[in-house]
Amino acid sequence: MNETFAQWPESLWRDGQLNWNFDCLPRELSCDVAIVGAGFTGLWTAHHLLEIDPQLSIAIIEARQPGFGASGRNGGWCSALYPTSLSTIATETSREAAINLQMHLIRTVEDIGAHITKHDIQCGWRHSGTLSYSRNEAQLARQNADLIMYRDLSLGEEFMRSLSSSESQQRIKISKSLGASFTPHCASLNPAQLLDGLVTQLLANGVTFFGDSIVSEIGNRSLRAHTVHGPATVNCKWNVRATEGFTARLPKHRRTIAPLYSYMIATEPISSRIWNDIGWDGRETWNDGRNMIVYAQRTSDDRIAFGGRGAPYKFASRIGGQFDNNASVHQLLESTLHELLPPTKSVEITNRWGGSLGVHRDWHPSVQTDRTTGQASAGGYVGDGVAFSCLAAEALSHEILDTDNEIRTLPFMQHVSPKWEPEPLRWLGINGMISLTQRADVAEENNKNVGFLTRQLLQKLVP
Ligand SMILES: Cc1cc2nc3c(=O)[nH]c(=O)nc-3n(C[C@H](O)[C@H](O)[C@H](O)COP(=O)(O)OP(=O)(O)OC[C@H]3O[C@@H](n4cnc5c(N)ncnc54)[C@H](O)[C@@H]3O)c2cc1C
């Protein structure tokens, strides 16, 4: 097994357990659509294709087993968030396109909830919105600016509203909260359980899964892979690259998507005595307004799953099991959790893990299809792929099957991001951005001005 795919992550959701054990590819295979990667993108693509044409033969080819990537190890926010600001989308395309995109994301979160209910997928789904706390003046200013931006786009109180300091504390007793914004368009879930539910349903609908098969070349209407039994070839009408943070391992894609690591910790189930001190009865997901994102959910078994970005980018977009643990980032997450929610200081941390996000150079997700080569791809969701992958897969399926559907006009369709810089510029640029972001947070925490140059650079690097 190639070292990138060697180790199964010790996340809370799976705890080192493999739920699936699909055989590897045979020497030769033919199908209508061959999907590379059994994460949410790959699975939702198969689902949406079959919704439109149930007769299609679909094979999903996975380097390890379903859920090995970010989909099986994420923070479990199923949100209508988009990785770049809607005002950027409005400027780059049109106001209507930005609003339409937001509406589709809201609908997608609802569709996922309806799908989970319809198929009785037990994944702790709780659609109770998300809170973003402001803990210093700079964060509060950004929160207010975001609200103004949404109002300019005619997205009113029902989309997002602000809570005063005391209202925000009534929800969750976050230390030093100056206020919060609340949007109902987010649910929390156990991502691995959703993933398993999707695999079960796709198997019932005739999709064929192959595990332990590493695709090494994506060609025109064909794939090449290697397995423990030797090389394999797949002939297909379409292939779909759904490899997100692993994409840079593929030839011709070294600079397409940069993998950025995000890390998580989870507590033991917390006693009702401590929950009384914290509040959080609504099980909303939440974060605060810092530049270097942290994210939290209260799980269905009363733990806290808490994550954050900010780990250094690995030279040449390396990724692998050896990076799934990072003691200093995990320690920082633990102290941040204690600072935000002091009653958690007495609670044991039971799980620590990490995984990679996929980031395009301009931070825009994209779906691409090429009818002449039969190649398609979807990804680049940064940290917002749980719901977005479903919308991207839906749009991709309509594109492949050439239906008459307005979803094909959404701004991420056929979007071409610039390539990342060659190394060492990429390493210098990404790690420089991470360090600037962290410095900006420290300055804001101390109510100091973030320098004009730093702010300009951050806006350029993270649009
Ligand atoms: C720690 C963490 C927390 C996150 N939290 C959230 C969150 O709370 N909310 C949210 O919306 N998003 C979150 N994200 C992002 C989200 O998980 C991803 O955007 C989403 O899961 C991407 O799904 P995917 O199917 O495109 O990619 P993945 O789930 O990464 O799937 C790609 C699959 O392709 C396989 N593969 C790769 N290369 C090959 C190859 N050559 N041959 C065969 N198979 C291959 C991999 O093994 C993998 O299983 C988080 C991510 C991480 C890492």
Question: Ligand 1 atom 3: the closest Cα is on which residue?
Answer: 74
* Diameter over CA atoms, the chain: 64
Q: How far is the centre of ligand 1, averaged over its atoms, from the C-alpha of 27 (Å)?
A: 27
Q: How far is the centre of ligand 1, averaged over its atoms, from the C-alpha of 445 (Å)?
A: 32
Structure tokens at 220: 């025109």
Percent of the chain with pLDDT over 70: 96
Instruction: Give kind and range of the element (H or E) at residue 305.
Output: strand 304-308
Question: Ligand 1 atom 48: the closest Cα is on which residue?
Answer: 69
Give the model's pLDDT for residue 92. Answer: 95
Q: How far apart are CA 173 and CA 156, in angstroms?
A: 26
Q: How far apart are CA 118 and CA 103, in angstroms?
A: 22
Please state which CATH number belongs to domain 3-129+184-409: 3.50.50.60
- Residue span(s) of the chain under CATH 3.50.50.60 come to 3-129+184-409
Q: Which amino acid is at 268?
A: E
Question: Ligand 1 atom 33: the closest Cα is on which residue?
Answer: 37
As a whole number, mean pLDDT of residues 237-243 equals: 98
Percent of the chain with pLDDT over 90: 86
As a whole number, mean pLDDT of residues 325-351 equals: 96
Which pTM value belongs to this model? 0.96
Cβ neighbour number for residue 3 with a 10 Å cutoff: 11
Residues 6 or more apart whose Cβ sits within 8 Å of residue 192: 11, 13, 14, 19, 67, 72, 73
287 CB-contact burial (10 Å; exposed 0-12 / middle 13-18 / buried 19+): buried
The ligand 1 site (C-beta within 6 Å) comprises 5, 36-42, 61-64, 68-71, 73-77, 79, 214-215, 242-246, 250, 262, 264, 295, 307, 354-357, 379, 381, 383-386, 389
Residues 6 or more apart whose Cβ sits within 8 Å of residue 66: 19, 20, 22, 38, 39, 43, 60, 72, 195, 196, 199, 209, 211
Instruction: Name the residue of 74, 253, 287, 306 whose CB sits within 8 Å of the most ligand 1 atoms, as the mutation to test its pocket.
Output: 74
Residue 463: band (very low, low, confident or very high) from pLDDT cuts 50, 70, 90 = very low
Q: How far apart are CA 59 and CA 31, in angstroms?
A: 7
Task: Give the residue from 241, 194, 440 showing the smallest Cα distance to 358.
Answer: 241
As a whole number, mean pLDDT of residues 138-158 equals: 95
Question: Ligand 1 atom 52: the closest Cα is on which residue?
Answer: 74
Q: How far apart are CA 228 and CA 382, in angstroms?
A: 32
Instruction: Name the residue of 214, 228, 246, 326 whose CB sits within 8 Å of the most ligand 1 atoms, as the mutation to test its pocket.
Output: 246
| pLDDT > 80? residue 106 | yes
Q: Which residues pair with 306 in a beta bridge?
A: 265, 296
| pLDDT > 80? residue 457 | no
As a whole number, mean pLDDT of residues 84-98 equals: 95
Instruction: Please give, one letter per residue, the 3-state secondary structure of 15-31.
Output: CCCCCCCCCCCCCEEEE
Atom number in ligand 1 closest to CA 43: 25
Which pLDDT tens digit goes with each residue over 162-200? 999 999 999 999 999 999 999 999 999 999 999 999 999
Residue 256: band (very low, low, confident or very high) from pLDDT cuts 50, 70, 90 = very high
Give the model's pLDDT for residue 459. Answer: 59
Residues 6 or more apart whose Cβ sits within 8 Å of residue 103: none
Question: Ligand 1 atom 34: the closest Cα is on which residue?
Answer: 37
Q: How far apart are CA 57 and CA 42, in angstroms?
A: 14
Question: Ligand 1 atom 13: the closest Cα is on which residue?
Answer: 383
| pLDDT > 90? residue 291 | no
| b/e per residue 177-210 (b: at least 16 CB within 10 A) | bbbbbbbbbbbbbbbbbbbbbbbebbeeeebbbb
